[in-house]
């Protein structure tokens, strides 16, 4: 049975729960609610396992805070013996408009501290990432406030549908492969 590591990036704590920077956590939480699996506190992360269409999916929400996400990614790749080609990191992206998803087989951190740390710890950028658009509606010097701010009401109304689409992209990556998932979910 093929194994996949799905990592949702975010920050732990109730003050971060609904912030844009926690889009990765939100996608995994939405999938857990939809498919009936739950997360447990383990070493460096909240983790969950779920089988889907003959694939073993191992979900990780690092508890290391965003800037040290790579530590949990590396630990669980080794612990679960999952190859880098079966790793998918789900993260927010301010360079994409809200409501857009972008799945890529590799790429740069693009200024995202969670991806930057993951690149450093793994020693590669050659892993898949699903970028969840949060938009960039902030003035100069206000980026931190924006990404650590909550989605406004009009986006909150649309959020469940976007989270569902992101969850579908995760499952497509695991069952159909990166190319098929990219063709179906990149707009």
CA-nearest of 70, 48, 66 to 57 is: 48
Q: Is 21 a catalytic residue?
A: yes
d(CA 164, CA 5): 19
- HEC profile of 57-72: EEEEEECCCHHHHHHH
* Of 21, 52, 112, 180, catalytic: 21
Hey, how many other C-beta atoms are within 10 angstroms of the C-beta on 179?
A: 11
- The CA-atom distances, in angstroms, between 169 and each of 67, 105, 111, 114, 179 are 25, 13, 23, 20, 11
- Report the distance separating Cα 90 and Cα 134, nearest Å: 13
The residues that are catalytic are 21
């Amino acid at each position: 049975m093929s194994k996949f590591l799905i990592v949702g990036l975010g920050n732990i704590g109730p003050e971060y729960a609904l912030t844009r920077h926690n889009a990765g956590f939100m996608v995994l939480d939405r999938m857990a609610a939809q498919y009936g699996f739950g997360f447990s506190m383990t070493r460096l992360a909240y983790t969950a396992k779920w089988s889907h269409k003959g694939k073993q999916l191992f979900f990780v929400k690092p508890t290391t805070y965003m800037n040290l996400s790579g530590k949990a990614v590396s630990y669980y790749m080794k612990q679960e013996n999952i190859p880098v080609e079966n790793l998918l990191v789900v993260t927010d992206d301010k360079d994409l408009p809200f409501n857009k998803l972008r799945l890529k087989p590799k790429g740069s951190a693009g200024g995202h501290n969670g991806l930057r740390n993951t690149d450093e710890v793994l020693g590669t950028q050659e892993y898949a990432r699903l970028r969840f658009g949060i938009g960039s509606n902030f003035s100069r010097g206000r980026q931190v406030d924006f990404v650590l701010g909550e989605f406004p009401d009009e986006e909150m109304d649309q959020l469940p549908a976007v989270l569902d689409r992101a969850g579908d992209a995760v499952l497509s990556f695991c069952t159909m492969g990166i190319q098929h998932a990219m063709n179906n979910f990149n707009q």
